[in-house]
Structure formats: structure tokens, C-alpha cells
Amino acid sequence: MDRLTKAQRVLSRRIKGSERWKKQRLFVAKLHEKVANQRKNSLHHKSKELATVFDAVAVEDLNMKGMSRALKFGKSVADNDWVMFTTYLTYKLEEQGKKLIKVDKWFPSTQTCSCCGNKKEMPMSVRTYECSCGSIMERDHNAAINIKNEAIRLLALE
């Protein structure tokens, strides 16, 4: 159990309106703020790192799950975090004359073989992309290559 959960549990056991309850409520609020700040700092740090290392960054629009997994935000990542993260990333890239490229959410990144361009259904439970061309790749890795290629294509059109 983390500190916040523990503190909230203590609060729920206190008599509502009592001095000890008020004190605990303040403590919970401060912990909340601390956790939120740590998350924000980590989003700043990760976006800065990406903006420094790469000349351009491509993301699949609205692909929160894939991105949060790739960056190890953990299961608790909220939509809000993703919005914050892409906002930070966009301006940190722009500061350096770089770009965030958003690939359309309907682009079939998961369904396409990144080796030969074949397409097939890929239910969520299938973790490996196996193609008749002989290519075998981890699902997200295959999708990432497709997103990268699509981003390069989009950049060339500009």
C-alpha cells in the first residue's frame, strides 16, 4: 500500500469534523499535491529527454496505452497525463526547431506488416505479429516501425 492510500484509510477512520480528522485531511491534501508534482516532474523530464535525443518524434494520435507502456508510466496513467505529456513534448521540440508528428489514429499501425506491407486482423490478445512473408515481430515494435515510416512519409509531404 502506498503512503497516500494509507493516509486516506487513516482519514476514513477518524471522526468527521474532529481536530484529528482535520489534521489528517490536511496531511492527505499535501500528499496528493506531492504525488501530482512528482508526476508532472517526471513528464517534464521524459519529454525533455526525447526532445533532446531525437530530431523529430512521431506519436499515434490518442494512442495512450501504447505510449504510456513505452515510457513506463505504469497502469495508472490518466488521459490527462498524456495530454500534458504531448503538450510539454510539443513545445520542447519546437524550442529546438524540431517537430512532433501525429499519425492519424485510423492509420493501421498494428495491422500492417512493417516488412512487406501486408495487412491482417490483430486482436488485442495477439502480442506477436507473424506474417506470411516470414517476419515475426513483437506487436508494439512492429506498430512503432509503421508509425515511424508513416511520419517520415508525412514529413516529406510538407
Long-range pairs, 69-75, Cβ under 8 A, ≥24: 69/140, 70/140, 70/144, 71/46
Contact between 116 and Zn ion by CB under 5 A: the answer reads yes
The one-character DSSP state at 112 is B
Give the residue, chosen from 83, 133, 152, 155, that forms a contact with Zn ion under the rule CB under 5 A: 133
Q: Measured from the CB atom, is 131 or 143 closer to Zn ion?
A: 131
Q: Is 56 helix (H, G, I), strand (E, B) or coil?
A: strand
Q: Which of 57, 71, 122, 131 forms a contact with Zn ion (CB under 5 A)?
A: 131
- Listed as own residue / partner, the contacts of 32-41 with beta carbons closer than 8 Å and 24 or more positions apart are 32/4, 35/4, 39/81, 40/84
Contact 148, 58 (CB under 8 A): yes
Q: Is 151 in the site for Zn ion (CB under 5 A)?
A: no
Q: Where does this chain touch Zn ion (CB under 5 A) — which range of 29-37, 39-47, 84-92, 109-117?
A: 109-117
By CB under 5 A, which span of 83-91, 110-118, 120-128, 149-157 interacts with Zn ion?
Answer: 110-118
Q: Which of 115, 137, 145, 154 binds Zn ion (CB under 5 A)?
A: 115
> What is the size of the binding site for Zn ion (CB under 5 A)?
7
Least separation in angstroms between residue 157's CB and Zn ion is: 25
Asked if residue 86 lies in contact with residue 100, where contact means CB atoms within 8 angstroms, the answer is yes
Q: Which of 113, 143, 147, 151 binds Zn ion (CB under 5 A)?
A: 113
Count CA atoms within 13 Å of residue 108 on its CB side: 11
Interface contacts to Zn ion, rule CB under 5 A: 113, 115-116, 118, 131, 133, 135
